[in-house]
Structure 1
């Protein structure tokens, strides 16, 4: 169970992935220049990040919509905190699109002027936990233990992203500091067109009916799984959690998120 912890780097109470981190960049992140038309996708890990990176690329790039662009999603909407050494953020065309797992207190201070836009995407934590387990074990090869062992680590916040409860609660409680829109991964899956319209209204981005159709068609979950430029980890907590594990996680969720106003979709078949 200890194997994943050797990849963790703790900075100001938050766990990063040490293997792909520029510590000097992180230490100076508070002063990173934020431009008025910057757009950020903010998520806890395994909460639909890649899906929404793809969605932003489709909304902002005609080449991406038409399939003529060769830029991978991770490069078109790069992670702020895991900046590639060869990437110069300042040289990228505007608007600058970013994704990040950072908690509210570690993002650049310029985001608090409410000019740049933030889409905070969240997902029900049971699916987050199950998806995270498969990602850590089968994709990153950073965890070799059982699901039960991972569940304990996840619920204690000893993973990249730290404690899920702290992340979502922190962003929601500090929302007045930012220009932020909260969305669930599940609502995008249930109502792609309505979700795209909601995002475009928030971004002030007008699309023709033809472009809107192209975005919605390519941003459906099934199409995402087949896109060679996108990697999607699928998970269904009902097929992974035992009855005991489900009851235990429910008790913890109810204790930690009591009176929390954001709604969660636990079952995609429910209205």
Structure 2
């Protein structure tokens, strides 16, 4: 992994196969205050035991649907959309659980919620298809997921907008955080669950090899054509819209219900907190809804930061066929 100034005092290392079998003996590398380099991705020290338990114990079912992403890439929006598509025959716009629950409560994270609450969670009462989410890179997912027929929906976003979105999220808890420092962390490949390029390429390459198993979606494309991409997504997860539903405007209804502006203004998302065990007492629900705009980075990142990030991303993604508009 290429290192820049921020991490010059740290050496890169990865875990051996033997160390992976013995979590208690792992030699891990710390970057203050809590990030650990584990299986070539940066993981919060508080989440690492949950990640290991998830890898060890989770048994995927062929009907499972798993949403994967890096933080601040459109995860909340995608959760609302997929929950609504899957459950559209059970609930209407007037009685959907989205009116009383945040999307992160309806589709929980493996590493930050389910395996934080219990080392071996009981999923026996979950309705089929089971809906889960994760920020973990593809290479580090449990083998049962890789070898099952479950479907993975991956959403990614222009890293410049991700940095700004993450910065706006962080300054709620650490007001002195500078966007330039966060950008440097990304340039060094030390972003959470990253490096960014390894994360996106892992799912991108799997989507090319197994298009029936991994659906790769760009946030910008979803914003540009919500109806068209929602139709494709529904087909992929096994819940295609009928011609009658299309005529009745069901896709448009779901799009409006799950729009950032609508979710942001729901009473359930204006108040209260989401419990993320082992992370903090809770995170305010309203913190997950900001602008959601494409290209907002131009208002916050200086040209030198943009030039650095653009150069690194182009270099890392070169030859993959994956591009982001800058």
- Partner Cα separation in structure 1 for residue 95 and residue 300 of structure 2: 35
Superposed CA offset, 1:44-78 (max 9, x none) = 11111111011111112243743442333112111
Q: Select the residue among 295, 299, 303 that pairs with 1:243.
A: 303
The Cα shift of 1:37 comes to 0.8
Task: Confirm or deny: 8 A CA contact 2:203 2:216 kept in the other structure.
Answer: no
Alignment gaps of 5+ in structure 1: 267-271
- Residues 197 and 28 of structure 1, relative CA distance in 2, 3 Å threshold: closer
Q: Select the residue among 159, 162, 165 that pairs with 1:131.
A: 165
The Cα shift of 1:114 comes to 5.1
Task: Confirm or deny: 8 A CA contact 2:170 2:177 kept in the other structure.
Answer: no
The Cα shift of 1:193 comes to 0.8
Which residue pairs with 2:139 in the alignment?
A: 105
Task: Confirm or deny: 8 A CA contact 1:186 1:265 kept in the other structure.
Answer: no
Q: Select the residue among 168, 188, 191 that pairs with 2:200.
A: 168
Which residue pairs with 1:56 in the alignment?
A: 82
Number of residue pairs the alignment of both structures matches: 262
Moved more, 206-215 or 96-105: 206-215
The Cα shift of 1:30 comes to 4.2
Moved more, 214-223 or 42-51: 214-223
Q: Select the residue among 273, 289, 293 that pairs with 1:232.
A: 289
- Residues 143 and 173 of structure 1, relative CA distance in 2, 3 Å threshold: farther
Which residue pairs with 1:46 in the alignment?
A: 72
Pairing 1:185–2:212 present:
no
Alignment gaps of 5+ in structure 2: 1-5, 8-30, 270-284
Provide the alpha-carbon RMSD of the alignment.
2.6
**TM-score using structure 1 length:** 0.85
- Residues 174 and 5 of structure 1, relative CA distance in 2, 3 Å threshold: farther
Superposed CA offset, 1:224-259 (max 9, x none) = 333444622436111111122222222222222222
**TM-score using structure 2 length:** 0.72
The Cα shift of 1:264 comes to 2.5
The Cα shift of 1:177 comes to 5.7
Task: Confirm or deny: 8 A CA contact 1:189 1:220 kept in the other structure.
Answer: no
Which portions of structure 1, spanning 4 or more consecutive aligned residues, are displaced by more than 4 angstroms?
none
Superposed CA offset, 1:180-225 (max 9, x none) = 0111111111111111111111112034334323212212333233
State the SS of the aligned residue for 1:81: helix
